[in-house]
Structure 1
Amino acid sequence: MRRLISANTSEILLYSAEELKQSIKASEGRVILSENVAIHPAWINDLTNTELAASFGADLILLNGVDVIEPNLANVENQKDFVNELKKLVGRPIGVNLEPVDENAAMMDEVIEISKGRTVNEESLKALNELGMDFLCLTGNPGTGVTNKAIGEAIRLAKKHFNGLIIAGKMHSSGVDEPVCDEDTIKEFTEAGADIILVPSIGTIQGFDEEQLKLACDVAHKNDALVMTAIGTSQEGARPETIREMAIRNKLCGADVQHIGDAGFSGLAPVENIFEMSVAIRGLRHTVSRVARSVNR
Structure 2
Amino acid sequence: MKRLLDCSASDFRKMDGKQLKRAIQASEGRVIVAEVIGEFAPLYPAVTNAELAAAFGADLLLLNWFDVFRPAVNGVDVNEPDHIVERLKQLTGRPVGVNLEPVDPNAKQLEELASLPKGRRATAESLQQAKRLGVDFICLTGNPKTGVTNDEIVKAIETARSILGEDTLIIAGKMHAAGVAGETGGGIVTEEVVMRFIRAGADVVLMPAPGTVPGVTLDKTEKLVRVAHEHGALVMLTIGTSQEGADEHTIRQIALAGKMAGADLHHIGDAGYHGIAVPENIMAYSIAIRGKRHTYIRMARSPLR
TM-score (norm 2): 0.96
- The answer to whether residue 15 in structure 2 is matched with residue 15 in structure 1 is yes
After superposition, give the CA deviation of every residue in 1:237-270 in whole Å (9 maximum; x if it has no partner).
0000000011011101100000000002221000
1:85 is aligned to: 87
Partner of 2:280: 272
Q: Which among 131, 146, 149 is matched to residue 148 of structure 2?
A: 146
CA-to-aligned-CA distance 1:59-82 (integer Å, 9 cap, x gap): 000000010012232112122211
Task: After TM superposition, give the deviation of residue 211 of structure 1 in Å.
Answer: 1.2
Checking the alignment, whether the CA contact within 8 Å between 2:107 and 2:180 is kept in structure 1 is: yes
One-letter code aligned to 2:216:
F
Per-residue CA shift, 1:223-243, capped at 9, x if unaligned?
Answer: 100000000000110000000
Match of 1:34 in 2: 34
| Structure 1 residue 53, shift from structure 2 partner | 0.3
Asked if 1:244 corresponds to 2:252, the answer is yes
- 3-state SS of paired residue (1:97): strand
Q: Secondary structure at the match of 1:136?
A: strand
Alpha-carbon displacement from aligned partner over 1:2-45 (angstroms, at most 9, x marks no partner): 11111111111211100000000000000000001110111111
C-alpha distance in 1 between matches for 2:285 and 2:26: 19
State the secondary structure of the residue aligned to 2:238.
Answer: strand
| Contact kept in structure 2, 1:32 and 1:259, CA below 8 Å | yes
Partner of 1:258, secondary structure, is strand
Match of 1:81, SS?
A: helix
What stretches of structure 1 move > 2 A for 4+ residues in a row?
A: none
Distance 2:304 2:246 in 1: 34
Distance 1:184 1:122 in 2: 25
The answer (yes or no) to whether the contact 2:246–2:272 under 8 Å persists in 1 is no
- The equivalent residue for 1:168 is 172
Q: Please give the residue correspondences for 1:65-76 in structure 2 after superposition, counting only pairs within 5 Å.
A: 65-76=65-76
> Given that residues 112 and 144 in structure 1 are in contact (C-alpha distance below 8 angstroms), is that contact kept between their aligned partners in structure 2?
yes
1:273 is aligned with what amino acid? N
Deviations 1:156-210 (A, max 9, x none): 0000112310000000000101221110000000000000000001111111101
Identity %, equivalent residues: 49
- With 136-145 and 2-11 compared, the bigger mean Cα shift is at 2-11
Alignment deviations for residues 259-284 of structure 1 (CA, whole Å, 9 cap, x no partner): 00000222100000000001000000
Quick one: distance in 1 between partners of 2:53 and 2:299?
10
Cα distance in structure 1, aligned partners of 2:291 and 2:72: 36
Indicate the residue corresponding to 2:301 in structure 1. Answer: 293
Native 8 Å contact 2:72 2:84 kept in 1:
no
* Counterparts of residues 229-240 of structure 1 (less than 5 Å): 229-240=237-248
Instruction: Please say if residues 95 and 133 of structure 1, whose CA atoms lie closer than 8 Å, have aligned partners that are also in contact.
Output: yes
Q: Letter of the aligned partner of 1:166 in structure 2?
A: I
Which one of 189, 201, 213 corresponds to residue 209 of structure 2? 201
Range 78-87 or range 56-65, more displaced: 78-87
1:51 aligns with 2:57: no
Q: Which runs of 5+ in 1 are unaligned?
A: none
State whether residues 34 and 260 of structure 1, in contact with CA within 8 Å, keep that contact through their aligned partners in structure 2.
yes
Distance, in Å, in 1 between the alignment partners of 2:63 and 2:298 is 20
* 1:13 counterpart SS class: helix
Aligned partners of 1:76, 1:110: CA distance in 2, in Å?
34
1:166, 1:80 → 2: CA distance? 21
The amino acid across from 1:280 in the alignment is A
Does structure 2 retain, via aligned residues, the 8 Å contact 1:6–1:289? Answer: no
Q: CA deviation at 1:294?
A: 1.1
Alignment of 1:182-221 (within 5 A): 182-221=190-229
**In 2, Cα distance between equivalents of 1:294 and 1:37:** 23
Amino acid at match of 1:151: I
Matched residue pairs, number?
A: 297
